[in-house]
């Protein structure tokens, strides 16, 4: 299979290179109108087909790697290093992205899959699709070149090449990855990263060909939203994985690789909002082009940070020299973007201008500025260790206090805008009119702040100002205000529909979403964001206790009592494990038992914590078995009481639901359908 896989990868590279060169040549010939021997459109068609064939070749390579993992072919270095015989079947799939070579192959395969769909739909606008297809082929050439020459997934073990020796078993999968969410978290994140290649290719293509109008935004709208959804789901799954596996009681540590996924999410979110202004009013064209260019570059940076070995991180599973390949590619991409922009910037003049500061447009503008500011701060913090080492020779790490000090206020401002934006109409409105819509949210905000102060959420502790409690108080009050604003916006719309149709309010709400799923799906996403903000604010009140526990020893945390009911051990072909059995009671009544676990994987001999979590809407009881104290032999238990964590996961689900609603096609008015049906393409018949 190694020979077949390597050959398929080489073939895929050749096809991608042909797609790029023939596609570019055909577009050049069509643009200049030079007389040619054959039809340049026929050449463009072979380029398009090469892109589709390239996807088949990469699929064959990916299939060969998965097949080899399942066949336990330890003559292949990658498989010997990332799998073993006892590895459960579901994690054998994870081996595809657990190492550098495999994850790059996944990148290339996903890019091929996106390109495949795009090339099948080319009749929507053949010329624009041809430009986008050639740009995607350029990106694919890079990834396949890395796979063929710098990080080959089918490289054979040196011992096997020298003497035919094949190890009896592999090193096994990294224990951190042997967790159910890890089967879907990396592919989702990669779908998000790779997906941004598509709007990037369309934006760059549209700029290169001076595409008239904003139809490219309409074409890529769903791509961008689906991509954003994948990235969002991937980030939240990663947070949940960190929470459930790493055992430190938190879900976000401002790790460089976490930051790497957050940065394109921030610029992608900015793009999703800002591009609406271009679509509706032909505004912000320069801004949008650079937002999507930056987003794509940040996805490359994210891949480089994860796989290039530039930063130390719990997530950077493979360190190597491919960082230089990525750096070179990023420089090339940036150069192409700058060159195209300089050449075609005249095409990006706004058709309209900002009419009022009190408008939906201005709220989008502020929102995108704030998102960009957040992205810049995170980028600075992430790259600072590398820059400080480069300049001064000392690596200065930037920790959570830096990020929290800047990102939390920015996040709170964004939360405010999530509520303000929907209340403002497009084009602008007088302040007096808009004030009316803000009265109720402001009252709710003030009442919530008062209630929070009343129940003990106060911005001071022992007479001193406490920043985290202050931020939490602001977050709770703002969340209540924003939620009221969003719900009242829903109700206002539903009342109009109810009045028009004479039906009840519940039917009207559903009808409202059906009529404009994009707008109201977006509001559902905003409600999800509010829930996430409430959950994050809860972290200000986390409590923990740690202690050695002999049989029947007790520890107390909040209203819970944890009593040690015993210890036990287990083993299977993949790992040995030790459990602590803890009876949890409240007010003297036994409620449930928790079993935090520590595993030692046999193939890699690496330990792994399996946290026990009991989750209710108000808080999580989170218990870690840290192993035995070497001096006393007593097991050490660390327990956390983390308020409102489940709100984060519920908010993430709501964000997913909202995006799915926004993706749904809206009801089309009859008058509009006539224009939508206008054919965009024609076919050329040649004998």
Partner 1 sequence: MTPPQGLLCGVLLLIALMVYTFWPVKVFASQREKPRLEYLLERREQLDESLRDLDFDFRAGKFAEAEFQVQRAQLENETAQMLAEIEQLRQALRLAGNDER
Q: Which residues of this protein are in contact with partner 1, per CB under 8 A?
A: 1-5, 7-8, 11, 15, 18, 26-27, 30, 40-42, 44-46, 49-50, 52-53, 56-57, 60, 122-123, 125-127, 130, 211-215, 279-280, 423-427, 429-430, 433-434, 436-437, 492-493, 495-496, 499, 669, 671-672, 675-676, 678, 680-687
148 secondary structure, DSSP code: I
| CB of residue 494 to partner 1, shortest distance in Å | 9
- Residue 622 DSSP SS3: strand
Measured distance CA(88)–CA(183) in Å, rounded: 12
- Which CB atom, from 70 or from 402, has the smaller least distance to partner 1? 70
Half-sphere exposure of 521 (CA within 13 A, CB side): 18
SS3 letters for 356-397? CCCCHHHHHHHHHHHHHHHHHHHHHHHHHHHHHHHHHCCCCC
| CB of residue 514 to partner 1, shortest distance in Å | 14
- Which CB atom, from 395 or from 515, has the smaller least distance to partner 1? 515
Helices (H), 246-309: 256-281, 285-307
- Which CB atom, from 40 or from 247, has the smaller least distance to partner 1? 40
| CB of residue 202 to partner 1, shortest distance in Å | 14
- Which CB atom, from 144 or from 612, has the smaller least distance to partner 1? 144
Q: Do 532 and 644 form a contact (C-beta atoms < 8 A)?
A: no
| CB of residue 132 to partner 1, shortest distance in Å | 13
- Which CB atom, from 351 or from 446, has the smaller least distance to partner 1? 351
- Which CB atom, from 571 or from 681, has the smaller least distance to partner 1? 681
Residue 72 CB partners (closer than 8 Å, separation 6+): 79, 83, 85, 170
Query: What does residue 463 show for φ and ψ, rounded to 5 degrees?
Result: 80, 0
Q: Do 73 and 2 form a contact (C-beta atoms < 8 A)?
A: yes
460 secondary structure, DSSP code: E
| CB of residue 49 to partner 1, shortest distance in Å | 5
| CB of residue 427 to partner 1, shortest distance in Å | 6
- Which CB atom, from 516 or from 585, has the smaller least distance to partner 1? 516
Beta-strand relationship, 635-643 and 612-615: unpaired
Cα-based angle 234, 237, 241 (whole degrees, multiple of 5)? 135
End-to-end Cα distance, the chain: 43
- Which CB atom, from 55 or from 575, has the smaller least distance to partner 1? 55
| CB of residue 501 to partner 1, shortest distance in Å | 13
- Residue 600 DSSP SS3: strand
76 secondary structure, DSSP code: B
- Which CB atom, from 32 or from 631, has the smaller least distance to partner 1? 32
Cα-based angle 187, 193, 198 (whole degrees, multiple of 5)? 120
State the helix-helix crossing angle for 197-208 and 215-245, rounded to 10 degrees: 150
| CB of residue 661 to partner 1, shortest distance in Å | 18
- Residue 118 DSSP SS3: helix
| CB of residue 608 to partner 1, shortest distance in Å | 34
């Amino acid at each position: 299979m190694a020979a077949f896989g390597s050959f398929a990868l080489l073939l895929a590279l050749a096809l991608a290179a042909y797609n790029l060169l023939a596609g570019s040549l055909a577009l050049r010939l069509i643009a200049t109108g030079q007389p040619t021997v054959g039809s340049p459109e026929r050449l463009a068609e072979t380029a398009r087909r090469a892109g589709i064939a390239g996807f088949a070749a990469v699929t064959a390579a990916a299939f060969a790697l998965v097949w080899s993992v399942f066949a336990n072919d330890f003559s292949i270095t990658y498989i010997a290093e990332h799998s073993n015989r006892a590895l459960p079947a579901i994690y054998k799939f994870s081996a595809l992205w657990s190492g550098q070579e495999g994850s790059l192959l996944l990148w290339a395969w996903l890019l091929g899959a996106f390109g495949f769909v795009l090339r099948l739909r080319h009749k929507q606008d053949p010329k624009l699709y041809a430009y986008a297809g050639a740009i995607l082929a350029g990106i694919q050439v890079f990834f396949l070149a890395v796979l063929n020459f710098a990080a080959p997934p089918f490289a054979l073990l040196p011992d096997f090449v020298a003497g035919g020796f094949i190890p009896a078993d592999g090193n096994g999968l990294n224990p951190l990855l042997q967790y159910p969410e890890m089967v879907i978290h990396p592919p989702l994140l990669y779908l998000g990263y790779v997906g941004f290649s598509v709007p990037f290719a369309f934006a760059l293509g549209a700029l290169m060909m001076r595409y008239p109008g904003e139809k490219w935004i309409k074409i890529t709208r769903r791509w961008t939203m689906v991509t954003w959804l994948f990235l969002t789901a991937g980030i939240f799954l990663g947070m949940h994985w960190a929470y459930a596996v790493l055992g430190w009681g938190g879900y976000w540590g401002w790790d460089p690789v976490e930051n790497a996924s957050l940065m394109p999410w921030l610029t992608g979110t900015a793009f999703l909002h800002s591009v609406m202004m271009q679509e509706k009013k032909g505004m912000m064209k320069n801004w949008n082009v650079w937002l999507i260019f930056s987003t794509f570059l940040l996805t490359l940076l994210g891949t480089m940070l994860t796989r290039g070995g530039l930063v130390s991180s719990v997530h950077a599973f493979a360190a190597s020299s491919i960082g230089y390949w990525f750096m070179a590619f990023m420089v090339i991409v940036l150069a192409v973007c700058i060159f195209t922009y300089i050449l075609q910037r005249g095409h990006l003049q706004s058709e309209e201008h900002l009419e009022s500061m009190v408008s939906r447009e201005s709220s989008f503008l502020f929102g995108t500025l704030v998102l960009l500011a957040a992205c810049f701060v995170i980028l600075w913090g992430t790259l600072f260790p590398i820059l400080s080492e480069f300049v001064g020779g000392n690596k200065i790490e930037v920790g959570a206090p830096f990020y929290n000090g800047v990102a939390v206020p920015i996040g709170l401002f964004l939360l405010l805008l999530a509520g303000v934006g929907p209340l403002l109409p497009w084009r602008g409105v007088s302040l007096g009119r808009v004030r009316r819509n803000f009265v109720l949210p402001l009252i709710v905000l003030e009442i919530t702040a008062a209630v929070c102060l009343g129940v003990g959420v106060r911005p001071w502790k022992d007479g001193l100002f406490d920043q985290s409690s202050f931020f939490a108080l602001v977050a709770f009050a703002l969340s209540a205000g924003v939620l009221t604003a969003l719900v009242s916006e829903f109700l206002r719309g539903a009342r109009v529909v109810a009045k028009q149709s004479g039906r009840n309010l519940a039917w009207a709400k559903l009808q409202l979403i059906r009529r404009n799923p994009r707008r109201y799906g977006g509001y559902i996403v905003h409600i999800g964001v509010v829930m996430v903000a409430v959950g994050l604010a809860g972290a200000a009140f986390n409590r923990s206790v740690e202690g050695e526990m002999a049989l029947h020893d007790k520890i107390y945390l909040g209203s819970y009592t944890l009593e040690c009911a015993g210890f036990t051990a287990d083993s299977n072909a993949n790992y040995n494990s030790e459990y602590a059995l803890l009876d949890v009671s409240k007010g003297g009544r036994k409620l449930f038992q928790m079993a935090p676990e520590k595993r030692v994987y046999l193939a890699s001999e690496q330990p792994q914590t399996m946290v026990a979590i009991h989750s209710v809407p108000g808080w999580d009881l989170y218990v870690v078995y840290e192993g035995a104290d070497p001096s006393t032999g007593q097991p050490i238990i660390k327990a956390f009481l983390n308020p409102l964590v489940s709100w984060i996961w519920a908010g993430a689900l709501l964000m997913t639901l909202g995006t799915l609603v926004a993706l749904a096609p809206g009801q089309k008015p009859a008058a509009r359908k006539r224009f939508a049906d206008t054919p965009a393409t024609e076919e050329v018949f040649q004998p």
